[in-house]
Amino acid sequence: MEEKVKLIKDPIHGYIQINEEERRIIDSAPFQRLRRICQLPFANLVYPGANHTRFSHSLGCFYIAGEIVEKLKLEEYNKKVVKIAALLHDIGHPPFSHLCEQFLFEYKTNHEEMTKKIISENEELASAIEKSGVSIKDVIAILEGKKPESSIVTGPIDSDKLDFLIRDSYYTGASYGIIDIKRLIHMMKLIGNKIAINIRALGVVEEFALARLQSFINIYYHHAVRAAQLLFVSAIKKEGIKNLLSLEIEDYLNEDDYTLWCKLKNSKKALPYVKRIEKRLLPKMAFETHLSAEKFSFSMLNEEDVRKQIERKIANIAGIDEEKIWIDTPYIAPIPLSLSHETPFYKEEDGEVKIVEVKSPFFEPFAQIYNILRIYTENEYRSQVEKAAKKFFEPLPEIERISL
- Of 1-15, 29-43, 225-239, the range with the lowest mean pLDDT is 1-15
Please say whether the beta carbons of 403 and 304 come within 8 A: no
Is the predicted pLDDT of residue 391 greater than 50, yes or no? yes
Half-sphere exposure of 164 (CA within 13 A, CB side): 21
pTM of the model: 0.91
Helix (H, G, I), strand (E, B) or coil at 95: coil
Q: pLDDT, tens digit, for every residue of 82-133? A: 999 999 999 999 999 999 988 888 778 899 999 999 999 999 999 999 999 9
Q: What sign for the dihedral angle of Cα 17, 23, 26, 32? A: positive
- The total number of residues shown for the chain amounts to 404
pLDDT at 81: 98
Per-position DSSP letters for 96-132, written without gaps between them: TGGGGHHHHHTTT--HHHHHHHHHHH-HHHHHHHHHT
Res 175: pLDDT: 84
Q: How far apart are CA 227 and CA 229, in angstroms?
A: 5
Spacing of C-alpha 257 from chain mean position:
16
What mean pLDDT do residues 134-151 have?
Answer: 94
Among 9-13, 71-75, 112-116, 286-290, where is mean pLDDT lowest? Answer: 286-290
Residue 370 bridge partners (DSSP): 332
Cα–Cα distance for residue pair 181/202, rounded to 1 Å: 12
Q: Are 115 and 143 in contact (CB under 8 A)?
A: yes
Model confidence at 239, pLDDT cuts 50, 70, 90, reads confident
At 177, is the secondary structure helix, strand, or coil?
coil
Beta bridge partners of 332: 370
Cα–Cα dist 335/259, whole Å: 35
Q: How far is CA 258 from the centre of its chain?
A: 20
- Measure the CA–CA gap between 54 and 41, rounded to whole angstroms: 11
Q: What is the mean pLDDT of residues 129-146?
A: 95
pLDDT at 340 over 50: no
Average pLDDT (31-37) is 98
What is the rounded average pLDDT for all residues in the chain?
88
Q: Are 343 and 336 in contact (CB under 8 A)?
A: yes
The pLDDT value given to residue 296: 55
pLDDT in tens, 190-228: 887 778 899 999 999 989 988 988 999 999 999 999 999
pLDDT-derived band at 235, boundaries 50, 70, 90: very high
Question: What average pLDDT does range 2-6 have in this prediction?
Answer: 80
CA atoms of 33 and 189, how far apart (whole Å):
35
Helix H or strand E encompassing 10: strand 5-10
Query: Which pLDDT belongs to residue 243?
Result: 61
Which of 54-58, 323-327, 354-358 is predicted with the least confidence, judged by mean pLDDT? Answer: 354-358
Given a cut of 80, whether residue 390 has pLDDT beyond it is: yes
How far is residue 170's CA from residue 172's CA, in Å, rounded to a whole number?
Answer: 6
Going by C-alpha positions, the residue among 46, 67, 65 that lies closest to residue 57 is: 65
The top-scoring range by mean pLDDT among 171-180, 221-230, 297-306, 353-362 is: 221-230
Three-class secondary structure of residue 188 per DSSP:
strand
Q: With beta carbons less than 8 A apart as the criterion, state whether 110 and 101 touch.
A: yes
Whether residue 35 has pLDDT greater than 90: yes
Domains annotated for the chain, with CATH where assigned, are 5-282+334-368 (1.10.3210.10), 283-333+369-404 (3.30.70)
